[in-house]
Structure 1
Amino acid sequence: MKPASSRPGRSGVVTGAGAGLGREIALGLASRGYIIFGTAASLEEAQELKEASAGRVSLMVCDRTSAVAVDAWACGVADALGPAGLDLLVSTAGEYARGPVEALAQDALRRVFEMNVFGALAVINAYLPALRSARGRIVQITGWAGRVPLAFDGPSGASGAAIEAFSALYRTELKPFGIDVTLVRLGALKNDERISPDSAALPRQYRKLYGKAFRTASGRLEAIQAAGMDAASAAARIIDIAHGDAPASRVAVGTDAERMMLAACDMTEAELDSYLLEIIGLS
């Protein structure tokens, strides 16, 4: 298929486009001539981005955990696009929970999966008819923890692993329709909202069991985050990936993500387990 950059009248959808990485991706694509549709957390975010993009980005407040809301949003966008269809869908993760798995509330775990997995699937499925029309591309963004999960950041790893599996399935199942699927394993971003509360936020019965280890691990995770990429640089890299002539199946973005993917390939299971404990200061 032709690279996305060669199509006239290009269109894109970016979830979570009201702030952070999603915002930078939406603005970056708009600067390359795309008309962008997406989701925002508030009407204020939507209006701000419309103005910042000179009207090339149109966002809607949409609950991605609601299939009804997602379908209604996608139908409206499809009507606006017409028979040309959708050239590019960029799907971002949006929910995190940190702590020992034993101590995490079931509702918190469900929320992570509802947003990061079921919400992502709902968006992709809703836009498949428009993507088929344009023989478009899907870029699914997740964290590297989906490949190598870290202790005390389990929901990110578990939901990321699910998205990795679904992305591989979509890649195979959608190939006959000319739709490319790329999974981006994203490294840490500065000013990301994943920084966790301290151990005092743990339920009382778990503080003695996990408090010290959780504080140590949280400090290490925050240090990794502080040394991460800025959102604009990560967005530029992701946009370049989306425009590649021969899109990769899986791409690591960020120094830490690249390092972890190499470790996962080169180390034995025992070596990798020790390395992951060392990263969070628990070796």
Structure 2
Amino acid sequence: MSERPVALVTGASRGVGAAIARALAPTHDLVLGGRDRAALDSVCAGLPGARPWPVELTAVTAADVEGVDRLDLLVHSAGTVRLGDVAETPAAEWRRTFEVNLFAVTELTRLLLPALRAAGGQVVLINSTAGQRVNAGWGAYAASKLALRAFADALRLEEHSHGVRVTTIYPGRTDTDMQRGVRAQEGGDYEPGKYLNVDSVAKAVLAAVTVTADAQITEITIRPSASLPS
């Protein structure tokens, strides 16, 4: 049986989540969560010690995490974004955004807290610079990310006595399929050279995970050096 630490990464079938999985693979056994089983299998195929965890995160239950008695690292990377002015965004869209970006995170974390406490583990939340500053047209998404920031801060305070560390990563615009969708919604050109590489975000996660035991990195903001508004 492997004695390596175990990490569960959501949104791991592509983009930032897959990059995080690749960065952790040399040191961790991986459980890679997402909805697309075929894509998860493809990522796992190149990473020894990785296994797929196909799941609908907005409907996760205790049965989905049964048997997870110890977990060293939980990385929340799954998310969704749809732009729209407040006047054009119905309640159903706000609810859908919060279901993916906040409620799925809070419930999976709650279910896995016993395993994280047993390991003295760590929770890393991939937020967004939209969770620090709100721009017009980003209301529902930014609100969900600001709420995610509050959740992380509360979790850090409450779980400190159990030895669980909590880190929030705030990436700016990143070269992903999601960003392509965002630019299509904005009606702008897609210029990947102006965005962060997914591996840069993964390295920020590694920095938080590999910090020495006497320290806790609570927040990291990482922006493109070619700095688009984000």
TM-score by shorter chain over 0.5: yes
Amino acid at match of 1:249: T
* d(CA) in 2 for partners of 1:178, 1:137: 9
**Partner SS for 1:193:** helix
Q: Secondary structure at 1:39's aligned position in 2? A: strand
Match of 1:36 in 2: 30
Which of 199, 209, 216 is matched with 1:232 structurally?
A: 199
Query: Which residue in 1 is equivalent to 2:217?
Result: 248
- Larger radius of gyration, structure 1 or 2? 1
| Matching of residue 23 in structure 1 with residue 14 in structure 2 | no
Query: Per the alignment, in what secondary structure is the counterpart of residue 24 of structure 1?
Result: helix
Partners of 2:184 and 2:117 in 1: how far apart? 46
Tell me which stretches of 4 or more aligned residues in structure 1 moved more than 4 Å: none
**Residue 42 of structure 2 is aligned to residue 48 of structure 1:** yes
- Answering whether residue 155 of structure 2 is matched by residue 170 of structure 1, we say yes
- In structure 1, the partner of 2:82 is 97
Q: 1:118-149: per-residue Cα shift (whole Å, max 9, x none)? A: 00101111110000000001111100111101
Structure 2 residue corresponding to 1:130, chosen from 99, 115, 139: 115
SS of the residue 1:95 aligns to: coil
Question: Structure 2 vs 1, CA of residues 151 and 116 (structure 1 numbering), >3 Å: closer, same or farther?
Answer: same
Q: Distance in 1 between matches of 2:149 and 2:131?
A: 7
Residue 58 of structure 1 corresponds to 51
Contact 2:8 2:32 in 1 (8 A): yes
Secondary structure of the corresponding residue to residue 139 of structure 1: strand
Equivalent pairs counted in the alignment come to 225
* Structure 1 match to 2:166: 181
Counterparts of 1:242 and 1:51, CA distance in 2: 24
What letter corresponds to residue 66 of structure 2 in structure 1?
C
Q: What is the TM-score with the length of structure 2 in the denominator?
A: 0.89
Q: Is 1:155 aligned to residue 140 of structure 2?
A: yes
**More off after superposition, 45-54 vs 169-178:** 45-54
Q: Secondary structure at the match of 2:58?
A: coil
Residue 226 of structure 1: how far off its partner (Å): 5.4
Percent identity over paired residues: 25
Tell me if structure 2 keeps the 8 A contact 1:234–1:254.
no
Q: Which has the higher helix share?
A: 1
Superposed CA deviations along residues 216-237 of structure 1, whole A, max 9, x for unmatched, are xx538x56x7511111222122
Matched, 1:119 2:104: yes
Q: Is the 2:128–2:171 contact (alpha carbons within 8 Å) kept by the matching residues of 1?
A: yes
Q: Which runs of 5+ in 2 are unaligned?
A: none
Offset of residue 198 of structure 1: 6.0
**Alpha-carbon RMSD:** 2.4
Task: Decide whether the 8 Å contact of 1:27 with 1:57 is kept in 2.
Answer: no
Distance change in 2, residues 1:156/1:44 (3 Å): same
Long gaps (5+) in structure 1: 1-7, 200-214, 261-278
Change in 2 beyond 3 A, CA 1:50/1:93: closer
Per-residue deviation, 1:242: 1.6
Instruction: Give 2:217's aligned amino acid.
Output: A
Whether 1:106 aligns to 2:101 is no
Residue aligned with 1:183, SS: strand
1:12 aligned partner: 7
Deviations 1:161-193 (A, max 9, x none): 000111110000000000011111111111341
